[in-house]
Amino acid sequence: MLPLVYSTKEVARTGLGWRRMGHNVCYYQNHIKRRTGYYYTASFQVTARQPATSHHHHLHSTSTSTSTTTTTSSPSFQIRFLHADDVCYLAYCHPYTMSDLGAYLKGLEDDPKTRKRFRRRPLCETLAGNTVELLTITSFTAEPDALASRKGVVVSARVHPGETNASYMMKGIIDYLTGPSLDAKILRDNFVFKIIPVLNPDGVVVGNYRCSLAGLDLNRMWKDPSKRLTPTVWHAKQMMKRLSEDRELVLFCGAMGRVSDVVAPHMHTLRLSSPPLLPLQTSTATRASTTSSATAASRRVSPTAASPR
């Protein structure tokens, strides 16, 4: 996969922002081991090759993230920058920042129609004091009995902060569920959706690829999260536990950026006696069955006394 480059001069000239560039791309296996597997090392060299009349500049950078898989690879590539005396930014995936999320949610709240279809509140604060957003999407004007009979669905994204494509997936989910289509209305009338757009805000803010501010992979913390070290996972589990006490919780879906089928890896997470929790992981490369499974599972709650918490 080619790296992304953002050139300030190119934006001023053409309005074109992030785009994939580079040549001589090569992925090779490294041999850095850890106790439970291997390290992934993303190392690259960028060569700024200006026209013959310009000077040459060289930049070398290395970043590392961890994985529990048994295969590792390191990419290397070369880039020819388009302009001299330019300011350029490099990224592995198209960025989606907390500022982007805040602007997006404000736009939903400012829309007089959309804001009637969801509620926004903080789930908790992170180690660094960043807010974890929680959205509730459902038809809020129904009778209390109708609200109480709706089943629950929980969807989260960005447990791994570097998997930015998960945020674009989440944006599509929120746009659809809060949209004007008849199918979206049917989903809102029958389900209570709890949406956590970014589960690892600290990692997003500081630029981690996989870990939290405490250096932990939050997707490995579901079984026994710490309220102090992994507050986002702890509060997410508490929220799902309360939700399951009010209504049947039929789906927990984690939007992720890696290639995988829909799986249910954490059925033990909440230790519910009935019904069982079925958390799923989806990716931008999932098959059609993934989309249909996630779509069929949409549901939500309301803010009245009888509404879901």
Closest residue by Cα to residue 254 from 288, 307, 297: 297
Say which CATH number the domain at 163 has: 3.40.630.10
Based on the domain organization, do 173 and 258 belong to the same domain? yes
Last residue of some domain: 91, 117, 146? 91
pLDDT above 90 coverage of the chain, percent? 56
Together in a domain, 81 and 102? no
Mean pLDDT of 288-303: 33
Task: Indicate whether 59 and 36 sit together in one domain.
Answer: yes
- Return the H-helix or E-strand segment holding 132: strand 131-137
Give the pLDDT score at 153. 95
- Decide which of 37, 70, 91 is a domain's last residue: 91
Range of the domain at 59: 4-91
255 and 148 in a common domain: yes
Model pLDDT, residue 91: 86
Residues 21 and 120 in one domain: no
Residue pLDDT, tens place only, 45-63: 555 444 444 333 434 333 4
* Residues 225 and 206 grouped into a single domain: yes
Q: Write the CA distances from 5 to 17, 79, 81, 156, integer angstroms.
A: 8, 9, 9, 28
The distance from CA 53 to its chain's CA centroid, rounded to whole angstroms, is 44
Q: Which residue has the higher pLDDT, 291 or 170?
A: 170
Give a yes or no: residue 308 inside a domain. Answer: no
Average pLDDT value for the chain: 77
User: What's the average model confidence in pLDDT over 137-164?
Assistant: 94
Do residues 160 and 271 share a domain? Answer: yes
What would the pLDDT profile of 232-290 be if each residue is shown by its tens digit?
999 999 999 999 999 999 999 999 886 443 433 333 333 333 333 334 444 444 333 33
CA dihedral for 125, 126, 127, 129, sign (positive or negative): negative
Q: Which one, of 68, 261, 240, lies nearest residue 156 by Cα?
A: 240
pLDDT for 41 equals 57
User: Are 60 and 43 contained in the same domain?
Assistant: yes
The pair phi, psi for residue 204, each rounded to 5°, is -65, -45
Q: Are residues 58 and 106 in the same domain?
A: no
Number of domains in the chain: 2
Which of 75, 91, 107 is the C-terminal boundary of a domain? 91
Evaluate whether residue 301 is within a structural domain.
no
**Do 177 and 198 reside in the same domain of the chain?**
yes
| 212 & 121 share domain | yes
Give the model confidence (pLDDT) of 80-136 as tens digits. Answer: 888 889 999 988 889 999 999 999 999 999 999 999 999 999 999 999 999 999 999
> What's the pTM value of the predicted model, to 2 decimals?
0.74
* Chain segment 193-208, per-residue pLDDT in tens: 999 999 999 999 999 9
Burial of 212 (0-12, 13-18, 19+ CB in 10 A): buried
Lowest mean pLDDT among 88-92, 182-186, 215-219, 255-259: 255-259
